[in-house]
Amino acid sequence: MSFVTSRQEALDKLALFNDQFIQDYSAKRNFDLGPSERNNVSCLSPYITHRLITEYEVVKKVLAKHAFVKVDKFIQEVFWRVYWKGWLELRPKVWEDFLKDLKHLTLDQNYELAIQGKTNITCFNDWVQELKSSNYLHNHTRMWFASIWIFTLKLPWQLGAEFFMKHLADGDAASNTLSWRWVAGLQTKGKHYVAQAWNIAKFTNDRYQNVKLNEQATPIEDDRIYSIKKKEMNSNPKGEHLLFFENDLNLETIKLKDYKSLNCLILPNEQRKIKLAQNVLSYKEKVIADQIARLNKNVRKLKAEELDALVQSKEGLDVIYPNIGENLTYLQSIESKYSIKLNYIERSEDAYCHQFSTKGFFNFKENIPKIITHLKLS
């Protein structure tokens, strides 16, 4: 699978799915028919992750063409991404503990066999190679993969989440970390996802039959409790310069003042806690190039070492809030280094939606009509 790298191409992909395939989404979305057969899902996640197109644009364009009741399942799936972000924003220590856990885990032979796709489970091995080569896996397959990793191969969920983040073009700190926690039985205490051989056979059209799995697994246990921590955000522009990252490239859909300079930073692996595969980094470079070309203004691609001078500028710096993940972790290290507090600009849509992420997704789902109305998405 190859991904487009421009906003216009992403909008074209959305339009094609919206015109021709969304009607069958609810009935067919769980089938993984292989890398060459993806019309049953939108495959928009890499573009939404980098916000070449935003979740809110997607919902608005879909509802402009279809009644909500006809496409509610697709709308819910889009909002899952918003919900996950909001949930993690309210519990930042989950991300902090995930990174800390990774430092103390042993990479043994079983782990090496798993990431090389050399286990005794054929479908898992195929998915490893597909992930590495295409930087994508079907969502249902991601659940199977995580379940096999945790319950059959008995590997730490944190290492699996890291492996996904390394290789997924749509790798998102919130969606990825919390989905792995959910499969493990940590996100909703005691409720885990165990892959079943019959389910894999059915939803791969019998490509994989009689897969030998641990289907009697019990949830992973972790006694850490994460309470809600309300974040304080001052979204009023203060500086003369703006910084943004590759995970929110759609400046056209956020109200901004005129800045003296616009600066886009993509962290090199040397500055990352999780080192990305080279083809994932290359994809990010390409989508950034499209943003720079679109804006046609005083935009420069900033190097990590150049940020120090910018944050100390007397003219001031505003930052498009990158949400919890690698980029924010790096910014927090800069804040600590210089004993400063950066001025973050948060999308108003995100701020509104995240208030509904205090509980489970069911509560968030109940508020989707309210969100649609408030944000004028229909």
| Contact between residue 44 and residue 17 where contact means Cβ atoms under 8 Å apart | yes
Structure tokens at 224: 């850490």
| CATH number of the domain residue 129 falls in | 1.10.579.10
Q: What DSSP assignment string belongs to 241-306?
A: EEEEETT---GGGS-----SEEEEE---GGG-SSPPPHHHHHHHHHHHHHHHHHH-SSEEEE-GGG
Q: Residue 66: which CATH number? A: 1.25.40
Q: Kindly state whether residue 369 falls inside one of the protein's structural domains.
A: yes
Question: For 47, what's the count of Cα atoms within 13 Å in the CB-facing half-sphere?
Answer: 25
Domain-located, residue 149: yes
Residue 227 placed within a domain:
no
My answer on whether 139 and 198 are in the same domain is yes
Q: Is the residue at 261 inside a domain?
A: yes
Q: Is residue 285 part of a domain?
A: yes
Domain with 50, as residue range(s), is: 7-89+353-374
What's the start-to-end Cα distance of the chain, in Å? 32
Q: Number of structural domains, the chain? A: 3
Residue 19 is assigned to a structural domain of this protein: yes
Is the pTM above the cut of 0.95?
Answer: yes
Q: What sign does the CA torsion over 50, 166, 28, 30 have?
A: negative
Residue 212 lies in a domain: no
Query: How far, in Å, are 53, 159, 173, 282, 286 from residue 108 at the CA level?
Result: 40, 11, 25, 29, 35
Residue 37 DSSP one-character state: -
Q: What is the CATH number of the domain that holds 271?
A: 3.40.50
Are 159 and 107 in contact by the 8 Å Cβ rule? The answer is yes
Which of 310, 136, 296, 159 is CA-nearest to residue 220?
Answer: 159
Q: pLDDT tens digits for the chain (378 residues)?
A: 689 999 999 999 999 999 999 999 999 999 999 999 999 999 999 999 999 999 999 999 999 999 999 999 999 999 999 999 999 999 999 999 999 999 999 999 999 999 999 999 999 999 999 999 999 999 999 999 999 999 999 999 999 999 999 999 999 999 999 999 999 999 998 899 999 999 999 999 999 999 999 999 999 999 999 999 887 777 788 889 999 999 999 998 888 888 999 999 999 999 999 999 999 999 999 999 999 998 877 788 998 889 988 888 888 899 999 999 999 999 999 999 999 889 999 999 999 999 999 999 999 999 999 999 999 999
Do 46 and 18 sit in the same domain of this protein?
A: yes
